[in-house]
Homo-oligomer: A and B are copies of this chain.
Amino acid sequence: MAQAETATLLIHCPDRPGLVHDVTGFIFAHRGNIIDLKQHIDPQAGAFFMRLEWSLENFTLEASEIMDRLQPLARRHEMNTRLHFGSQRRRVALFVTRDNHCLYDLLARHEAGDLPVDIPLMVSNHETLRPAAERFGIPFHHLPITPQNKQQQELRQIELLRSHQIDTVVLARYMQIIGADMIAAFPNQIINIHHSFLPAFVGAKPYHQAHERGVKIIGATSHFVTAELDEGPIIHQDVMRVSHEDSVEDLVRLGRDLEKTVLAKALWWHARHQVLVYGNRTVVFN
């Protein structure tokens, strides 16, 4: 049985009385059936956030009309809005270097139908993971990076992503700092996995730093990439207990499980339009 098409509307605007009433009124007036509604008010910032998912089965507006017809309401309440349709899946590019654990984890989820995105291509600065890409039938693009060619290669990357209508870049342990052009081209669309509990252990070799400091818990953090290294809005974090018995190598090995699940979860929420960025933080409607 085919599932009916759904629409998801994300709203961010100044908080004021009647917002939920007005938006649900719009849906109700056109015979939409609400599947999920979540809202959040930040009283300090005076900000309102909402995620509304409804069935288009009996909806009286065409998909292409919705935004137009919503305009008056959106303008009146100074709304930032985003509209997504269930049938239009995110188009994801996977960026990798040599580590395969996040990659295999995402590809296996994808194959099992647990990751509702399309993955038209992989990009890497090394050839190492080409066989992995080929195993799962994902086109693999090798774009080696040197200090000399870095900016130029990034422009090629952007072109490549654009030509594939990519809307989400996942850095699945991609060991390169992302340049300003790429970040500007994909604002809050580049998801990184950092192998520490941010903001602890920013930068290189976080497991070494963690071991040196003698922490009893390690973590992983998935965040959107911004111009400040490891400072972007956090989407998801998780942690794991360790002990004095764990060497740096143990932390590296154990941490892979965190990295895999934290990145996959962040991408899952992003794929389902459950994440709203606001300032340097996220609202995750989960």
Contact = CB atoms under 8 A, between A and B. Distances in A.
Contacts of A245: 40
Contacts of A17: 28, 31-34
The A interface, classified by DSSP as helix, strand, loop or mixed, is mixed
Contacts of A183: none
Query: How many copies altogether?
Result: 4
Nearest to A280: B214
Nearest to A213: B199
Contact of A216 (B35, B39, B215, B234): B234
A135 interface: yes
Contacts of A112: 99-101, 256
A78 interface: no
B214 A237 contact: no
Interface in A250-286: 253, 256-257, 261, 264, 279-284
Contacts of A239: 197, 217, 239
Given A135-B136, A197-B219, 19 more contacts: A17-B34, A21-B24, A34-B41, A35-B43, A38-B38, A40-B245, A44-B247, A101-B108, A197-B239, A198-B200, A199-B201, A200-B200, A213-B281, A214-B233, A215-B237, A239-B239, A241-B241, A244-B281, A257-B264
Interface of A: 17-18, 20-21, 24-25, 27-28, 31-44, 99-101, 104-105, 108-109, 111-112, 114, 135-136, 197-201, 213-217, 219, 233-239, 241, 243-245, 247, 253, 256-257, 261, 264, 279-284
